[in-house]
Amino acid sequence: VAADNNDTIALANATNAFKIQFNDQKIGTTNKLYWNERRQKKNAALYPIRVVPREEVLGLCLKEWDAETERPVQYIQYPHKQIKRDLGLYDVVTVKSLTPYHGDGPADSWCSKRILQYNKQLKRTLKGITEIDLIT
Question: Higher confidence at residue 4 or residue 68?
Answer: 68
Q: pTM of the prediction?
A: 0.68
Please state, in angstroms and rounded to a whole number, the distance separating the CA atoms of residues 134 and 57: 29
Give the lowest-confidence range in 74-83, 95-104, 106-115: 74-83
What confidence category does residue 128 fall into, taking pLDDT thresholds of 50, 70 and 90? low
Residue 82, pLDDT > 60, answer no
Q: Give phi and psi for 78, each to the nearest 5.
A: -140, 135
